[in-house]
Amino acid sequence: MNDKDQSRELLEDAARFGIRYREDSVDRRVKPSPEAVANVERFIEPLPEAGMPDKAVLSLLDDIGSPATVTMTGPRFFGFVIGGSLPVTVASNWLATAWDQNVVMHEVTPATATLERVAMNWLIELFGLPGESAASFVTGATVANFTALAAARNRVYSDIGWNVEADGLIGAPPVTLLVGEEAHPTLMKSLGLLGFGRGTAIQVPVDGQGRMDVSKLPQIKGPTIVCTQAGNLNTGAFDPVGDICDAVRPHGAWVHVDGAFGLWAAASPRLQHLCAGVQRADSWATDAHKWLNVPYDSGVAIVRDAGALKSAMSITADYLLTETEFRNPSDFTPELSRRARGVDVWAAFKALGRKGVAEMIERCCSNARRFADRLRAAGYVVLNDVVLNQVLVSFGDDATTRAIIAAVQEDGTCWCGATVWQGHTAMRISVCNWSTTTSDVDASLDAILTIAARHTDAPPR
Ligand SMILES: *Cc1c(COP(=O)(O)O)cnc(C)c1O
């Protein structure tokens, strides 16, 4: 066999293994067997002196790796808030990996830079954000928050005549940071990475759903950044971003929205009321790898003031947004070299269209309501208003709820995680996978309710 044949066979093996894995993921246990997990120990060895044939490397990955994965991409994984991957996006990802483009400059990556530019414009349009905004494809919402807040930092400092990019924060006048008490922990990390410290933000009290209480916003003066949230990771609730803008923007504050998954409600005519006012903010962070169901790693930062984003991210010390013929992606991202992750976003939009995205989002929300309805009917307490795709259920005291969650994970029909919501332990059901059907929901409910009945006095239904 010549090198070309070997290379083809290898890539065909990868496609075959990948296809088989994804086909199996519809029916397989969500949690891998203890034997499969124990088997990953076989990966642990000293750095090999001599190599091994490529084909054997790939087989080893499939033999040991595939069975030891939690089936996160399957239709009955409801843990965290993560989503799966649309087939077309896995395919586009494979092809774009084969292209191996480094999307630093438009000139040498015309295809991928253009696809990303188109995908960004579509995102901005879908969310109803200002047309003048700039966006960047980053690894996830953590880095999207970081990126957008770097632009915020640039602007609030340049407004008071301080060049934070050149002179840093040591000796700089302080910035007031406001966050909701229920801000995602990664937002604090982003603030820390920006040199603001993880613990310096003023926490604004929230209501029973985790929404910032506008009446509790402190008096604002001087440079201020307000970090709001669209989609609480537990309840799915939205901060009243419009009211917050009304309250703080007259004082010159920058309003940022962490909309990792919640921003996608804007794609649905039925749900977009949840995002009312979000469009008036200054910057937004979201994930494509959650609710758009594209492969990791895929987040997006969007900033109304494109010049501030470019000033914070460009390495050319070009602090003006020059009207060059082409947009160089790396002028807007923390990374220089990176994969063309925006291609998968383009593929998802092209395959689904605006309508298909809306249907996917609405389907997940309707499946979440289906979970909530039957859990309530069985006598269990749903702790949140199910406005989006998140359901928090308590089966009684904390220990009982925890025992039921562990047993549900062990059972393997579906996978749901534990959380603590305002002092109560709850099972969190997050529906964000494109492929989850009502039958998947019903099969998961059957398993959950049977297990719950065993641990409580409730009769099985
Ligand atoms: C998931 C999430 C994040 C972090 O996103 P990553 O993509 O994991 O970096 C931030 N904020 C919210 C509200 C989230 O749900």
- Give the phi and the psi of residue 202 in degrees, each rounded to 5: -80, 125
Residue 140, ligand 1, Cβ within 6 A = yes
| Contact 227 CB / ligand 1 (< 6 Å) | no
Residues 96 and 60 in one domain: no
> Ligand 1 in contact with 184 (CB < 6 A)?
yes
Please tell me the distance from the alpha carbon of residue 357 to that of residue 382, in angstroms, as a whole number. Answer: 27
> Is position 312 within any domain?
yes
Residue 221 domain-assigned? yes
Whether 273 maps to a domain, the answer reads: yes
Residue where one domain finishes, among candidates 314, 331, 347: 347
pLDDT confidence of residue 321: 45
Cα separation, 211 vs 240, whole angstroms: 7
Q: CB neighbours of 174 closer than 8 A, spacing ≥ 6? A: 222, 223
Domain identity same for 117 and 22: no
Distance 140 CA to ligand 1 centre (A): 7
Ligand 1 atom closest to Cα of 287?
7
Whether residues 44 and 112 fall in one domain: no
d(CA 55, CA 63): 12
If asked whether residues 212 and 340 sit together in one domain, one would say: yes
55 and 173 belong to one structural domain: no
Same domain? For 100 and 44 the reply is no
pTM attached to this predicted model: 0.96
Q: What is the layout of strands, in order, in the sheet containing 381-382?
A: 381-382, 390-394, 424-430, 417-421
CB count in 10 Å sphere of residue 40: 14
Q: Which of 313, 330, 347 is the last residue before a domain boundary? A: 347
Q: For atom 3 of ligand 1, which residue has the closest CA?
A: 141
Q: Domain containing 146 — which CATH number?
A: 3.40.640.10
Same domain, 113 and 49: no
- Does residue 378 lie in a domain region? no
Task: Evaluate whether residue 121 is within a structural domain.
Answer: yes
Q: Which of 80, 182, 184 to mutate to test the pocket of ligand 1 (most atoms within 8 A of CB)?
A: 184
pLDDT at 317: 52
CA of 260 to the centre of ligand 1 (A): 5
- One domain, residues 64 and 145: no
Residues in the chain with pLDDT < 70? 316-325, 458-461
294 Cα: distance to centroid of ligand 1 (angstroms): 15
Q: Kindly state whether residue 395 falls inside one of the protein's structural domains.
A: no
Task: Evaluate the CA torsion angle 305, 311, 312, 316 in order and state its sign.
Answer: positive
Q: Which of 146, 233, 293 to mutate for ligand 1's pocket (most ligand atoms within 8 Å of CB)?
A: 233
The pLDDT value given to residue 1 = 72
Q: Is there a single domain that holds both residue 112 and residue 258?
A: yes
CA gap 237, 398 in Å, rounded: 23
Pairing of strands 424-430, 390-394: antiparallel
The pLDDT of residue 312: 96
Whose Cα sits closest to atom 2 in ligand 1?
260
Quick one: 133 and 267 in the same domain? Answer: yes
Is 208 a domain residue? yes
The domain containing residue 46 runs over which residues?
3-30+32-69
Does 131 lie in the same domain as 187?
Answer: yes
Domain count, the chain: 2
What is the distance between the alpha carbons of residues 315 and 331, in angstroms, rounded to a whole number?
Answer: 7
- pLDDT confidence of residue 327: 81
If you measure from the C-alpha of residue 69 to the centroid of ligand 1, how many angstroms do you get, rounded to a whole number?
22
Please report the pLDDT score of residue 326 as a whole number.
74
291 within domain boundaries: yes
Residue nearest to atom 13 of ligand 1 (CA): 260
Same domain, 334 and 255: yes
Ligand 1 pocket check for 299: Cβ under 6 Å:
yes
